[in-house]
Structure 1
Amino acid sequence: MVKTIQVDITPDKSLIKKLGAVGYSGEEAIAELIDNAIDARIENTAEQISVLLDFGARRIEVRDNGHGMDKNDLINALTVAKGTKQYGSLGEFGIGLKSACSALGKSFVIRTSKKGTDKEYLVKYDEDEWMTDNSLDWNKFNMTEKTLGQEQDWHGTAIVIDKLKISLYTNQSIKFRKNFGMRYASYIQEKDISIQINTMQCEPIHPEIEPGSKTHIILRLSNGRTIRGYAALMKKRSMRGNYGINLFRHGRLIKPFEKFGILAHPEYARITGVLNLNHVPVNFYKNAFIEESEEYQEISEAFKVHDSVRSICYESRSKREILESIEPIFDYVLEGKQLLQSMPRTIRSRQASDMLNSMKPFQAQIAKATIIVDTKPLKTGPLYSFDGKKSEKMLAINTNNIAFNFVKNPFFLVGMIAIEAKLMSENPDIKEFIQHRNKLLNEFLEYCFRTSKKKITRDEQNDDLRNHFGYRLADELIEIHDFLKENSIAKFQFTAMSTLKPHLHNLREKVVYAIYTTPNKGEYLADLLRDKFKKNIFVVKPTAELINTLSAMPNFDQIIVIREYSVIRGRTVAGPEKAFVDLVVESHTYDMQVDEKDVRRIFQSMERDGLIDPEKVRKYGKIVKKLPLIEDIIREVE
């Protein structure tokens, strides 16, 4: 006989106690209560949240002036797994209030009043009393209702927790201010939320980013959602692991310094960034995302291969930290103090401009004179002016001066200015000479800059890329070449079909061009070019099978192969003999698209036009150990 019976599955009275034992840290439990307070904020009204860590009374208080709760709201908040929150709120699980309070202490009091009402509600919970008093049960939870007079009118929620289960210790409030300043930076930054820890405000904390390094990231996922954020380089490497991507959800920091798409390695210790993963599920404690979820996995893979992320990773590996201020340069010149940061030979122009224009005025001492040094981006005027009384002088550096366009690292020019300021202070008689010299130099540089900025035609550009043999870079590669010449910090050389295509007019398939660079720089060049030239395909050290597959694909212009060699000498465009030998290597070693007949046809065409020297071809062929093959080609053509 089978029958249906009804059973009582009312939770055991120990459930609240057990919820508090699920593993919250003290900081996470307080953050849960702050989340609830933020969710309770009144729209278009500044909210104040205060946390009191009372070391003497061993008590914690969390108060807010949000919209508060009425009777039903409070009942729902106390009902396990019900709560009052919706998806998208910080405290959306409906368990946080009970578990957070129980994690912090054995006893808590919640007092609340909803905006627009005259009622105040209060509930008390004491773990020891609740567990031992049989008269208390889930359906007999005591709540106090109070009618407020006009003078008592208030709204918000106040939670007082004592019989603490966690320790309170010296400097804990400082730690909380710092961590909450980072965790809730976006809310605090918008000025509609203020969070106090023991009467001291939490200030929004953001990493110090190197000017010019920040790049915005947009990931479009298969489900149509869009993930936004940024990646950048910090001014200084973190020696304590405080680098990586800060992962947010609905404006609340879930996972700081996550090594998301990057390796945990000192080479990447300057990388920082933000991603907003609003739709990705988090764990119960809201201190980590569910990494096994499909959403997290897809975003992780998409972020890892994003061109901007790969570029930032390369820059972090290759870049040394540089000066954050020109003040150390003056300290070195005037006082002989050691420069603690490196002085690279080259800094990107945008980065250099941002750094110079963000400098703050400072004082330097030359003999008995105080020098006030400042940087100003003036439209006209000399490189710098140096005037004032004997005891106090003003040194104003014009960061828009033409001279800064002719140096790869502007700090070297600043060093020269510091030296000249020192010389003029020590010997006023030479001031007139230096100023006259700088005036003439400025006129010369302006002339050079005007002529270098003159617009030229594509044919003239191509002529500039001719060498004395009279052959040229393929027209479609000129813009790519110029871009690399201006932006790449890696050596490179266009070779093989990049210069030999004009000598093979009947090639039926898409041309595979070649750029050679030094070891470990291939991906850097590819990332740099992919971001700029989206209609081309750039591949590093590909197989012949991959090239054949790519050649059959529509919707792009050129395939450009990037290979890495130990040495790249000379010009950025290979000479005809080297380009030809490189083509032989491409066609035989890598089984590329040009066959032996095409190779011989190119050699025959170039020799007929007097563009190639067989002896030099033999020389390069010997270097790459292809001399027998080269001899066969020359013999057949002759």
Structure 2
Amino acid sequence: MKSGRWDKYPLIVRKGSKESYTHIKINNIIVKVDKKEIDKLADEFGIRFGPFISTNEVEININNKKCKEIIPKLTSDGKKEFSLKLDDGHILKGWFGFKLAGSVKEYYGFNTFRKGRLITSYDKIGLGKDPKTKQIIGELYMDHVPVSHNKRQWITESKEYKTVAKELMKFLRDYDVRQKVLCKGFPAHPGRVEGIVRNIFLGAKTTRKELEKIKPGDILVTSMTRPYFLLQIRRAGAIVTDMGGMLCHAAIVAREFNIPCIVGTQTATKKLKDGQKVIVDANEGVVYAAD
């Protein structure tokens, strides 16, 4: 940033309160841009360095304003704590959850700790290439896994690290199997959300009042969507239909409005009850019971 004043506000490195790590403080960044750009930059720092900000290892000020940690929002089922016994006899503890659709899109993975110290943020250990893992965030406590001399990265070639990665991947892969599947269809637009089912039955008796029962974040369930559903679709957290394919009305509108959508389930209107809480995994085309 040519307009910056880095000479007056140098990077300050000082000893932290704990002897085991160094505290880094960026005292100030002066930028001459409009407020929206400053807020955007602050948010970017708040997301990227959030885990380190929360543990007081990093402090960043932009135009005399302290950057705050920005935490991805979870679906309402929240954090799922686990304690996993590994093949080598060690215990892996932690928690994971699923991000709400649209929450901090680019960032996912685990904040990993060793003996209370944050080692990596948004680590992809155990996540693999499955698209649905891009909705996962959480924390892992890996006290038995060796780290580099500067304690800033795991020794990924170690037997302990490889065991954690392998067992964690299997655990996460099997998690959906343990959930109750209500119906399956074709994923028309990706995302994973939780919400309340609002079942709209098409026919001569479909009234405006019935459509108005759909509140922001509700799961719109119907045999197929119609053009006059447009206002309700924009409020919906997800769309699930009995009929249709990748070029049907529901799929096209869902992609336009960036709403998770599953089509062609054949049975959604029968199996999903009005007022029921469900999890719509439009990455996989599966609807689960939330309770």
- TM-score of the two chains, using structure 2 as the length reference: 0.51
- Name the residue aligned to 1:326: 215
Matches within 5 A, 1:71-82: none
Aligned partner (choices 127, 140, 151) of residue 262 of structure 1: 127
CA distance in 2: counterparts of 1:90 and 1:249, whole angstroms: 12
Distance 1:235 1:261 in 2: 21
Does the 8 Å CA contact 1:231/1:273 hold for their aligned counterparts? yes
Runs of at least 5 residues in structure 2 that lack an aligned partner in the other structure: 33-37, 197-213, 219-227, 242-270
Q: For structure 1, which runs of at least 5 residues remain unmatched after alignment? A: 1-52, 68-84, 92-96, 101-157, 161-166, 346-405, 413-486, 490-519, 529-638
The residue type paired with residue 215 of structure 2 is: I
CA contact (8 A) 1:262 1:268 kept: yes
2:76 corresponds in structure 1 to 211
Is it true that 1:295 corresponds to 2:160 in the alignment? Answer: yes
> Which structure features the higher share of strand residues?
2
1:114-143 C-alpha deviation (Å, 9 max, x unpaired): xxxxxxxxxxxxxxxxxxxxxxxxxxxxxx
Structure 1 residue 180 corresponds to structure 2 residue 180: no
Alpha-carbon distance, 1:240 to partner: 5.2
Partner SS state of residue 183, structure 1: helix
Residue number in structure 2 paired with 1:232? 97
Counterparts in 2 of 1:176 and 1:237: CA distance versus 1, 3 Å? closer
In 2, Cα distance between equivalents of 1:252 and 1:313: 33
Residues 94 and 139 in structure 2, CA contact (< 8 A), matched pair in contact too: yes
Please give the residue correspondences for 1:391-410 in structure 2 after superposition, counting only pairs within 5 Å: 408-410=273-275
Alignment-mate amino acid for residue 90 of structure 1: Y
Which position in structure 1 is the counterpart of 2:21? 90
Q: Is the 1:247–1:277 contact (alpha carbons within 8 Å) kept by the matching residues of 2?
A: yes
Paired residues of 1:210 and 1:232 also in contact (CA < 8 A)? yes
* CA distance, structure 2, for counterparts of residue 335 and residue 263 of structure 1: 37
1-side partners of 2:233 and 2:17: how far apart?
54
| Percent identity (aligned) | 21
> 1:184-583 residue pairs with structure 2 within 5 A?
184-185=53-54, 187=55, 195=59, 197-198=61-62, 199-212=64-77, 214-221=79-86, 225-236=90-101, 241-284=106-149, 286-306=151-171, 310-312=174-176, 320-322=192-194, 326-327=215-216, 336=231, 338-339=233-234, 341-344=237-240, 408-410=273-275
- Which residue pairs with 2:8 in the alignment? 57
1:177/1:251 CA distance change after superposition, 3 Å: farther
Summarize the Cα distance change of 1:240–1:313 in structure 2 as closer, same or farther, 3 Å threshold.
Answer: farther
1:275, distance to aligned residue in structure 2 (A): 0.6
* 1:217 shift after superposition: 1.7
SS at 1:280's partner residue? coil
- Following TM superposition, by how much is the alpha carbon of 1:58 offset from its aligned partner in structure 2, in angstroms? 5.2
Q: How far 1:207 sits from its partner (Å)?
A: 2.2
Q: Residue 341 of structure 1 aligns to which amino acid in structure 2? A: G
Change beyond 3 A, Cα 1:177–1:235: closer
Match of 1:428 in 2: none
Distance 1:305 1:328 in 2: 31
For residues 272 and 294 of structure 1, the distance between their equivalents in structure 2, rounded to whole angstroms, comes to 24
Give the drift of 1:216.
Answer: 1.4
**CA displacement, residues 59-87 of structure 1 (integer Å, 9 cap, x when unaligned):** 223467959xxxxxxxxxxxxxxxxx5xx
Question: Once superposed, what is the RMSD of the aligned Cα atoms?
Answer: 5.1
In structure 2, how many angstroms separate the alpha carbons of the residues matched to 1:202 and 1:323?
Answer: 32
Q: Is the 8 A contact 2:60 2:66 kept in 1?
A: yes
Question: Under a length normalisation based on structure 1, what TM-score does the superposition of the two structures give?
Answer: 0.26
Q: Secondary structure at the match of 2:49?
A: helix
Give distance in 1, aligned partners of 2:69 and 2:106: 20
**Residues 344 and 409, structure 1, Cα contact 8 Å, conserved in 2:** no
SS of the residue corresponding to residue 299 of structure 1 reads helix
Greater helix share, 1 or 2? 1
- Taking a change above 3 Å as real, the CA distance of residues 299 and 233 of structure 1, as seen in their structure-2 partners, is same
Q: Deviations over 1:546-576 (max 9, x none)?
A: xxxxxxxxxxxxxxxxxxxxxxxxxxxxxxx
* Cα 1:283/1:173, change in 2 over 3 Å: farther
| Higher alpha-carbon Rg | 1
